[in-house]
Amino acid sequence: MLKKIQTIIQESEAAIVGILVEFAPWLAPIAPAYMAYENLSVKLQFNHNVSLAVAITVELLGVATVNTALLFWRHNLRYKDPKRKSPTWIPFMAFVFYLVIILSVNALLDLELPSIYRIHVLVKVMLTLLSVPAAITVAVRTQHTELLADIHTQNAERRAERSTHERKPTQDDTQDEKGVAQAFAQDTQNVAHVTHEVTQNAQAFAHNKKDVVRDGADGESSLAHTCAICGNRFEKQQQLAAHLRVHTRNTNGHKKATEETHPIEFPTVAQ
């Protein structure tokens, strides 16, 4: 139970600290804004409402210039192309101008110098030029927004172009695909032709095997009456015996004796 309470307290503490951290930066300009308001209303004798508006404007300008400079810096880190980068020196110079104004209003007016009226004039000049860094900041932020829009459009066009190329192949790719298809069809025909020849050979072998078995059953197998000397085959045993007698009598009469006995040639069985 105590551990659960401790966990709840730690989580609540972390949430509260997070909220304070989020609001603290916005509370920081209160002090310089109040000092500017007091000096404007007392030293320069501005109206209280005008002094308050000027003090708030000066501090908001400082926040805007710093934020713009950091925004441009982070943006430039993402892109290496100079055309896609934003000028960081412009918001930086606007921030420097803000520092000069806020230091003039909050510090120079407190100086006890004989030429106090000249300081008043200088501060009024700086306040008059306050609209310059404000206008520059607005302009560069608008330019940055347009740059981001252009980058987004270019990226979208590139993605669409890549998608178009993937969906529509070029003429060379189409010809290559046709060549591959024709080669595949030719290979298929060759395989079918070879398969047909193998089937025919198998059928012929089976047919010859049946003939041999049938002849052996009748006692008249031609394969059984083969001359061991010349390899000639005969249908009957008597023809083989006469042929062998010719070999014994005269080897030179082998061919003539063979023609007289009329040997029967049968097709050789494919092995």
Give the torsion sign (CA, 38, 39, 43, 45). Answer: negative
pLDDT at position 222: 44
Residue 120: predicted pLDDT: 79
Helix axes 131-167, 48-78, angle to 10 degrees: 30
Report the pLDDT value the prediction gives residue 136, as an integer from 0 to 100.
86
Q: Which of 92, 101, 94, 103 is nearest to 132 (CA)?
A: 94
- Residue type for position 79: Y
Q: Give the pLDDT score at 116.
A: 54
Asked if 242 and 251 touch (Cβ cutoff 8 Å), the reply is: no
Domain ranges of the chain: 7-140, 209-271
* Lookup: tokens for 137: 């900041």
* pLDDT at residue 83 in the model: 81
Residue 103, both tokens: 């230091």
The tally of CA atoms less than 13 A away on the side-chain side of residue 176 is 5
Per-residue pLDDT of the chain (271 residues; tens, 9 = 90+): 778 887 888 888 888 888 888 878 778 888 888 888 988 888 888 899 999 998 898 888 888 888 888 888 888 888 888 888 888 888 888 888 888 888 888 887 777 656 556 777 888 888 888 888 888 888 888 888 888 888 888 888 888 888 776 655 555 556 666 667 777 777 777 777 767 766 766 666 565 555 544 555 444 444 456 776 677 777 777 777 777 777 666 554 444 444 455 454 444 444 4
Q: What is the pTM of this model?
A: 0.49
Backbone angles phi, psi at 107, to 5 degrees: -120, -45
- pLDDT the model gives residue 1: 77
- The structure tokens listed for 154 are 């270019």
Residues forming beta bridges with residue 233, ordered by sequence position: 226
The answer for residues whose C-beta is within 8 angstroms of residue 137's C-beta and 6 or more apart is: 61, 64, 65, 68, 91, 94
Q: What angle do CA 67, 62, 40 make, to 5 degrees?
A: 165
